[in-house]
Amino acid sequence: MAIGKQHKAAKAKIDRTKAYTIEEALSLVKETAHAKFDETVDVCVRLGVDPRKADQMVRGAVVLPNGLGKTVRVLVFAKGEKAQEAQAAGADHVGADDLVAKIQEGWFDFDTAIATPDMMGTVGKIGKLLGPRGLMPNPKVGTVTFEIGRAVQEAKSGKVEYRVEKAGIVHAPVGKVSFDVDKLKGNVVALMDALVKAKPATSKGTYLKKVSVSSTMGPGVNIDVPALQSQVK
């Protein structure tokens, strides 16, 4: 069956006017995934915030209890004992000026970058290269820290960063289609819990406006927000 026909068939199984329970929504995502690879399951959340206002920016990170189902390549900017700590924790690349030089030459063979605070002057030289790719270490999401070993382990085990976009939307991966529904649900609930805790004090009215899930190539499925909120801590 052609990709176009597969996508149409998948969409036909979903009632776009209905908000499903989280279990129903995730089951539909698994059922309608049709790619030949193990698709990523993504969550899309529309928040009641205005990201143009500094006091309504929602940004942070959460360690998903069931991981992401993929190998995360971690790069660490550190020296001395902290470099040794990073290596012991399983970092894929550890260095300082040598890594900066490689990145300046166009090397980006990593998924997450972590740095000790004393290295940020060095890392700042490549901020314009790392920033647009979402790879710039940031203390707000725990990637600028002296607790290097812990940061590396969290990144390896499925730490997800989230940041609200201009339209008030947050996108984040929560696992793979091959995960069972309970594992995906656990990850979705952990993400929603983090988002609720990150609610700005200046956000008025409904905070969680809309939540949907989808696979990489599949259609979106709307989730019943009040029912989902009842499962968040």
Give residue 103's domain range. 74-157
Closest CA to 75 of 113, 115, 130, 125: 113
For residues 151 and 81, state if they share a domain.
yes
Residue 7, domain member (yes or no) = no
- Ramachandran angles phi, psi of 230, nearest 5°: -65, -15
Which of residues 95, 128, 157 is at a domain's end?
A: 157
pLDDT tens-digit profile, the chain (233 residues): 445 666 666 667 787 788 999 999 999 999 988 888 999 999 999 999 998 888 999 999 999 999 999 889 999 999 999 999 999 999 999 999 999 999 999 999 999 999 999 999 999 999 999 999 989 999 988 999 999 999 999 999 889 989 999 889 999 999 999 999 999 999 999 999 999 999 999 988 899 999 999 999 888 999 999 999 888 87
pTM: 0.82
Count up the domains in the chain and report the number: 2
- Examine the domain organization and report whether 214 and 144 are in the same domain: no
φ and ψ at 85, to 5 degrees?
A: -65, -40
Helix or strand or coil: residue 176? strand
88 and 135 in a single domain? The answer is: yes
Considering the domain architecture, whether residues 167 and 222 belong to the same structural domain is answered as: yes
User: 82-103: buried (b, 16+ CB within 10 Å) or exposed (e) per residue?
Assistant: bbebbbebebbbbbbeebbebb
